[in-house]
């Protein structure tokens, strides 16, 4: 009898562990990466500008999700861009997640330290490598902490247009994507049952209200967005940028052709976007035990631009090349419940974003721009060098075929992957 009782208890324990392992789990963690003392800020190619003050802190924010044997991490870093050479170093320090399942994206603030190692005309770089080393470790620490806190959760997912004066296209007012995608994980048990663990916001915008030329280090509008979501009980806030290249920027326009370029305007835009994201996800159907799927693929781009070739070859970041004048990067596709996510290794123009979204297997498409790499602007071949407006974005692109190769490879990954599960009502 005693042996039978022990057997039944062990069987129950095994079944319980399998059941737990098959339930969707989530967690989030945050690390402050504000340099102390302050470092010069970089808004792109050129020598970084000395910073004398800061508005808000810079962060690395990690959102980890798991279902069965699949575990993924989504990380946002408050920086202009985050090269794979840095991201891969963090991946080696992360425990319990396959390196290809770790997605690291930059928010694209124009008021953070240089993470590219931009060389000047002499090949000299002014990037602070010790600071970047600390960020590499902090990113890994945030993901590892989140892995250790995983708990049973459900999801709410929604995509809708964000209303109000948030973004516009500097080149052509209306040529931008107003849609805002939101993924919110909600705790299923414990003291925080029913409360959000994390709220991820996916929206296309240049966080450059303050800009790099004013001597201010800042997360720009992303900082107030984090603060607003978290003050409203949305859990840890995560921001993943979208297809904002050429040139979807913050709508800080004033009358008479002037702009508002201060922290007050950052707060207005960041808080408005946060409020819209919370509005959009508020009444979304609860997905109680959503599936998680992750696929990755290494793709190559030719580096035809002399400027970009010089940067990649001379940077102390040690970018991974794939032969003469070719660069390699990682493309990811995620299915998270009813959402499908594609990563973009740069600043894709809005028309590329719309085209790819239209061919994704979901009514809830997400594009994570500047994720896994940040190779400058990504144009279609018909846009490349086509208009005077596109002179700068063409010059700071890898080349004419970058957008074409990305679209082909992204849609091939969509075709080769299963569609995400449809939204089911709670309890179904």
Cis peptide before 247 (omega within 30 of 0): yes
Structural domains of the chain, count:
1
82 occurs within a structural domain = no
The whole-angstrom separation of Cα 362 and Cα 342 is: 12
Burial class (CB in 10 A: 0-12, 13-18, 19+), 53: exposed
Q: In this structure, what token pair is assigned to residue 260?
A: 């508002």
- Distances from the Cα of 118 to the Cαs of 45, 125, 315, in angstroms? 6, 6, 6
Tens place of pLDDT per residue across the chain (428 aa) = 555 544 434 444 343 344 445 999 999 999 999 999 999 999 988 889 999 999 999 999 999 999 999 999 999 999 999 999 999 999 999 999 999 999 999 999 999 999 999 998 888 899 999 999 999 999 999 999 999 999 999 999 999 999 999 999 999 999 999 999 999 999 999 999 999 999 999 999 999 999 999 999 999 999 999 999 999 999 999 999 999 998 999 999 999 999 999 999 999 999 999 999 999 999 999 999 999 999 999 999 999 999 999 999 899 998 888 888 999 999 999 999 999 999 999 999 999 999 999 999 999 999 999 999 999 999 999 999 999 999 999 999 999 999 999 999 999 999 999 999 886 444 44
232 occurs within a structural domain = no
pLDDT score of 426: 45
> Which domain covers residue 338, as residue numbers?
296-416
19 occurs within a structural domain = no
Radius of gyration of the chain from its Cα atoms, rounded to whole angstroms: 21
Tokens 């050479």 belong to which residue? Answer: 85
Q: In this structure, what token pair is assigned to residue 234?
A: 């949305």
323 occurs within a structural domain = yes
51 occurs within a structural domain = no
> At 271, is the secondary structure helix, strand, or coil?
helix
pLDDT score of 3: 54
| Interacting residues of 270 by C-beta distance below 8 A, sequence separation 6+ | 220, 221, 222, 223, 224, 225, 226, 227, 228
140 occurs within a structural domain = no
42 occurs within a structural domain = no
237 occurs within a structural domain = no
């Amino acid at each position: 009898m005693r042996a039978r009782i022990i057997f039944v208890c062990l069987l129950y324990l095994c079944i319980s562990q399998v059941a737990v392992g098959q339930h969707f789990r989530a967690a989030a963690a945050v690390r402050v990466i504000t340099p102390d003392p302050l470092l010069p800020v970089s808004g792109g190619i050129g020598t970084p500008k000395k910073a004398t003050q800061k508005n808000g802190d810079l962060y690395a924010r990690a959102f980890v999700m798991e279902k069965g044997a699949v575990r993924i991490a989504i990380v946002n870093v408050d920086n202009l861009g985050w090269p794979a050479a840095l991201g891969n170093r963090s991946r080696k320090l992360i425990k319990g997640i396959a390196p290809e399942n770790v997605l690291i994206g930059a928010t694209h603030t124009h008021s953070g330290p240089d993470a590219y190692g931009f060389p000047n005309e002499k090949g000299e770089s002014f990037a602070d490598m010790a600071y970047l080393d600390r960020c590499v470790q902090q990113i890994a620490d945030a993901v590892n902490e989140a892995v250790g806190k995983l708990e049973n959760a459900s999801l709410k997912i929604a995509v809708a247009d964000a209303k109000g004066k948030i973004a516009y296209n500097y080149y052509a007012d209306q040529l931008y994507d107003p849609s805002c995608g939101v993924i919110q994980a909600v705790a299923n048990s414990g003291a925080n049952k029913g409360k959000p663990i994390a709220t991820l916001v996916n929206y296309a915008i240049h966080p450059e209200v303050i800009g790099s030329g004013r001597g201010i280090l800042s997360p720009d509008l992303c900082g107030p967005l984090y603060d607003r979501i978290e003050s409203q009980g949305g859990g840890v806030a995560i921001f993943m940028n979208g297809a904002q290249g050429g040139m979807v920027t913050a709508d800080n326009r004033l009358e008479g052709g002037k702009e508002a370029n201060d922290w007050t305007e950052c707060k207005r835009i960041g808080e408005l976007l946060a409020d819209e994201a919370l509005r959009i996800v508020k009444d979304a159907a609860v997905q109680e035990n959503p599936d998680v799927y992750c696929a990755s693929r290494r793709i190559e781009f030719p580096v035809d631009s002399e400027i970009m070739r010089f940067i990649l070859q001379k940077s102390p970041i040690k970018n991974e090349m794939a032969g003469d004048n070719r660069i390699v990067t990682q493309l990811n596709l995620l299915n998270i419940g009813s959402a499908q996510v594609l990563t973009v290794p740069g600043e894709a123009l809005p028309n590329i974003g719309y085209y790819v979204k239209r061919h994704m297997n979901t009514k809830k498409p997400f594009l994570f721009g500047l994720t896994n790499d940040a190779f400058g602007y990504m144009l279609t071949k018909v846009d490349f060098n086509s208009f005077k407006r596109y002179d700068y974005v063409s010059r700071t692109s890898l080349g004419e075929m970058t957008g074409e190769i990305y679209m082909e490879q992204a849609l091939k990954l969509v075709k080769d992957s299963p569609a995400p599960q449809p939204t089911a009502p709670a309890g179904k």
